[in-house]
Amino acid sequence: MQRRRFLQALAAPAILRPAAARRPNILLCISDDQSWAHASAYGATFVKTPGFDRVAGEGVLFRNAFVASPSCCPSRGSILSGQDFYRLRAASMNHTEWPGGIPIFTDLLAEAGYHVGCTGKGWGPGNWRNSGRKYNPAGPDYNKVRSKPPGRYISDIDYAANFEAFLDARPKNAPFCFWAGFIEPHREFEEGIGQRHGIRLDSVSVPAFLPDSEEVRRDLADYAFEIQWFDRHLERMLRTLEKRGELENTIVVVTSDNGMAFPRAKANLYDYGTRMPLALRWGERVKAGRVIGDLVSLIDLAPTFLEAAGLRIPEAVTGRSLLPLLDGRSPGRTEVVFGIERHFPGSRPNGAGYPSRGIRTGEYLYIRNLTPQANPCGDHPGPVWPQDDPVGGYGDTDGGLSKTYLWRNREKFPELFRLAFGKRPAEELYAVREDPYNMRNLAGKAEYEKIRKDLAARLDSYLKRTADPRALGRGEELDAVMRRFP
């Protein structure tokens, strides 16, 4: 029944605008390290996400949403600013600082009279205090309410209860904007927690770039349980909005900041690193049951919120509001651009990263690796990070059961090990419909040369138009940040 609702009204306008409307509230829910496929609304059988599914079924489900960068700080900074990650100076990479002078939607809404707050993980990991801010860029902190979590490594923050505390503190008649930054399903995972809570290993779908072993299935089940945990809080938040009569005038957005913390996913430009779950609900303003296949970027959220609130969108914003797509005035993007500078500073000497840029269309993914002589996951081999390897064994891939299993069985799975941890060529090209796990590089094949050239030119054009320092010959600006925060 739920799935049928997603497929209805595909051609109908999604936004129904009343003659006069209050400024909408905004609830932005962001999980930490979740790939696009892992919500039951997308057909996942081993992950149950009734909260996400409700938002999708009562609103819009996006099938092709992408982050600006598959790493926490640059992704979250891009969502806040509506800008491509490489424009954020020090915030273009993890474990640095938030620079001043970048307009962000939370500040602009606060200045316009919105009650703004945040629970869980906001912008980070990085230092925002150096910029002179009084609170995290995502909003003032609401983390006082705690509860006993169901297992190790799951946060004791009661996200839903803190949302209620935030609403209780709201000035009368003020619209609100709340950032719910779930810390799950970020590693580490408690081994076996998924099975203990009823996730069957035979129901787990293993991506083709990982070994299909019991160890990997257990790891994925533990990851799935953490997704289900934050989804329970999402359900509670939706019920709170209903009880308070606020749900219909609230833009509810549920997404993630980057892909799952497994080899060849998080911190990589492949789909399992950059492609995100995304659902949006806005009462009667967005017609229920629509599935959108157009490409969108999460940098589009900031201008969407600002336009919905009736505010001017800053000139620095490179994202585009989703409202014209939702109401049928214009189509979505034909391409999205993303990239990465550095994920974990300890992965290479002197804080060096692995700068890459990519462009994704509905049919192809093109990636340009700017330092192919380096290892994309870190220069020092090793099984896990950081528990027993202080110098960072393949540090750009978070440590865990799957990573360790693949390392220990590298001779048994040489191709999967190479794809996860081996060096990569300067250019990669994947036909995403035929190769959804991005494992067969077509760059260098004569029959795809025209496509490669076209995508390379389109990528160059976008990067120059949006002032990527590396595209403008100013890559030293980003390299200097890495050296400053080794």
* Confidence at residue 3, expressed as pLDDT on a 0 to 100 scale: 41
- Phi and psi angles of residue 372, each rounded to the nearest 5 degrees, phi first: -65, -15
Query: Is the pLDDT confidence value at 17 over 60?
Result: no
Determine which helix (DSSP H) or strand (DSSP E) holds 380, and give its type and residue range.
Answer: none
pLDDT in tens, 182-191: 999 999 999 9
What is the average pLDDT value for the chain, to the nearest integer?
A: 93
382 vs 394: CA distance, rounded Å: 6
| pTM of the predicted protein model | 0.94
**Tokens in use for 146?**
């705690």
| Pairing of the two strands 96-97 and 126-127 | parallel
Q: What is the DSSP secondary structure assignment for residue 6, as one 8-state letter?
A: H
333 neighbors 391 (Cβ within 8 angstroms): no
* Confidence at residue 328, expressed as pLDDT on a 0 to 100 scale: 85
Give the dihedral of Cα atoms 431, 435, 438, 440; nearest 10 deg. Answer: -80
In 231-273, beta strands by DSSP E: 250-256
* Confidence at residue 380, expressed as pLDDT on a 0 to 100 scale: 73
Query: Is the pLDDT confidence value at 246 over 90?
Result: yes
Mean pLDDT computed over 363-371 = 98
Ramachandran class of 230: left when φ > 0, alpha when ψ lies in -120 to 50, beta otherwise: alpha
Which band of pLDDT confidence, cut at 50, 70 and 90, is reported for residue 41? very high
Mean pLDDT computed over 94-111 = 96
93 vs 353: CA distance, rounded Å: 9
Tally of CB atoms within 10 A around 314: 17
Selection from 179, 184, 121, 119 nearest residue 150 by Cα: 184
Give the dihedral of Cα atoms 315, 470, 446, 273; nearest 10 deg. Answer: -70
**Tokens in use for 217?**
């299935």
Determine which helix (DSSP H) or strand (DSSP E) holds 28, and give its type and residue range.
Answer: strand 25-31
The CB-side HSE value for 371 (13 A sphere, CA atoms) comes to: 17
386 vs 81: CA distance, rounded Å: 31
Q: Is the dihedral of CA 4, 7, 13, 17 positive or negative?
A: positive
Instruction: Please enumerate in sequence order all residues whose Cβ is within 8 A of that of 398, keeping only pairs 6 or more positions apart, or say none.
Output: 33, 187, 261, 266, 385
Tally of CB atoms within 10 A around 20: 5
77 vs 98: CA distance, rounded Å: 8
Which band of pLDDT confidence, cut at 50, 70 and 90, is reported for residue 382? low
217 vs 329: CA distance, rounded Å: 44
Angle at 84 between CA 78 and CA 89, to 5 degrees: 80
Give the dihedral of Cα atoms 338, 341, 346, 349; nearest 10 deg. Answer: 150
Query: Is the pLDDT confidence value at 132 over 70?
Result: yes
pLDDT in tens, 76-87: 999 999 999 999
Tally of CB atoms within 10 A around 405: 22
Mean pLDDT computed over 141-148 = 98
pLDDT in tens, 255-303: 999 999 999 999 999 999 999 999 999 998 999 999 999 999 999 999 9
Q: In Å, how far from its chain's centre is CA 467? A: 22
- Reply yes or no: is the peptide bond before residue 70 cis, omega within 30 of 0: no
Which band of pLDDT confidence, cut at 50, 70 and 90, is reported for residue 318? very high
Residue with tokens 């009880």, as numbered in its chain: 243
pLDDT in tens, 162-200: 999 999 999 999 999 999 999 999 999 999 999 999 999
- Phi and psi angles of residue 419, each rounded to the nearest 5 degrees, phi first: -65, -35
Burial of 439 (0-12, 13-18, 19+ CB in 10 A): middle
Selection from 115, 118, 68 nearest residue 93 by Cα: 68
pLDDT in tens, 348-357: 888 999 999 9
469 vs 485: CA distance, rounded Å: 18
321 vs 313: CA distance, rounded Å: 9
